[in-house]
Structure 1
Amino acid sequence: MEFDNNRPIYIQLLEDFKLKISSGEWKSGEKMDTVRNLAESYAVNPNTVQRALQELEREGLAKSNRTSGRFVTEDLNLIEKIANEAFYKSCDDLIDVANKLELDRDKSIKMLDEYWRDKSE
């Protein structure tokens, strides 16, 4: 993962962790990797990973068990909500760009549909 130096790394990690959960890469109820292993795989300080994981827990997407580790939430409604929020944020970005380019809704949807088809082939 390449980090944006203009944003806190723990926030970027948090976003990536949420994406892993909402996409199913990290499954509901699954044990998460250790702080040390995550820090090594992302090439960041363990304290940074710990901060992102604490925020993930605060948001209810992970739960710590002192003796057996940290687990992804089993709350599928919460996971779906997080996935929807990520999708809608991307939609907001798309709408902002379309507005700046003075593209109307119909033209934007047509272009997206064509682009999506081309990417799917």
Structure 2
Amino acid sequence: MKWTIDSDRPIYKQLVEQLELRIISGLYSPGDKLESVRDMAMAAGVNPNTMQKSLTELERMNLVYSQRTSGRFITEDIKVIEDAKRNLAFREIESFLEKMKLLGFGKKEILLLMEKIEEGETKDDHFKC
């Protein structure tokens, strides 16, 4: 998964989000050893201090833990990962619903639109809600 950094938000927060997604999606498996801070920073194209700050935040979230002489590892606590997955899903849905309401869609219209898209209809099919 490629690192993507935007200039509109703090870099460390973007790194936290991307690392969290990698953990939740299974790209990093429970118990996996992470690369060194320096290697991860180089791959992401960021300052090592920024990567360190992101990893510290992931430790606070209990998604990552440190072993003094061995490095950092992904948590082996599946419940922590599942909770993070649900929290991320909730945040994404909440953001989506907020945007849809700003566009003037009501609950029924949103659900109908989602069903149609799920069934494979596209904006080019000219469907109405």
Quote the RMSD (CA, aligned, Å). 1.5
Higher helix content, 1 or 2: 1
Separation of aligned partners in 2, 1:117 and 1:50: 43
Q: State the 1:66 CA deviation.
A: 1.4
Separation of aligned partners in 1, 2:20 and 2:114: 25
Separation of aligned partners in 2, 1:15 and 1:62: 13
Which structure 1 residue ranges, 4+ long, deviate > 4 Å from structure 2? none
Q: Secondary structure at the match of 1:71?
A: strand
Gaps of 5+ in 2: 122-129
Gaps of 5+ in 1: none
Alignment of 1:1-121 (within 5 A): 1-118=3-120
Deviations 1:33-88 (A, max 9, x none): 11111111101111110110011111111111112111000111110111111111
Separation of aligned partners in 2, 1:62 and 1:43: 21
Matched residue count:
119
Q: Secondary structure at the match of 2:31?
A: coil
Q: State the 1:114 CA deviation.
A: 2.3
Separation of aligned partners in 1, 2:40 and 2:78: 24
Separation of aligned partners in 1, 2:29 and 2:115: 30
What amino acid is the match of 2:52? Q
Aligned to 2:127: none
Deviations 1:77-117 (A, max 9, x none): 11011111111111111111221122121211121222234
What amino acid is the match of 1:34? S
Separation of aligned partners in 1, 2:58 and 2:29: 15
Separation of aligned partners in 1, 2:19 and 2:45: 15
Which is greater in Rg? 2
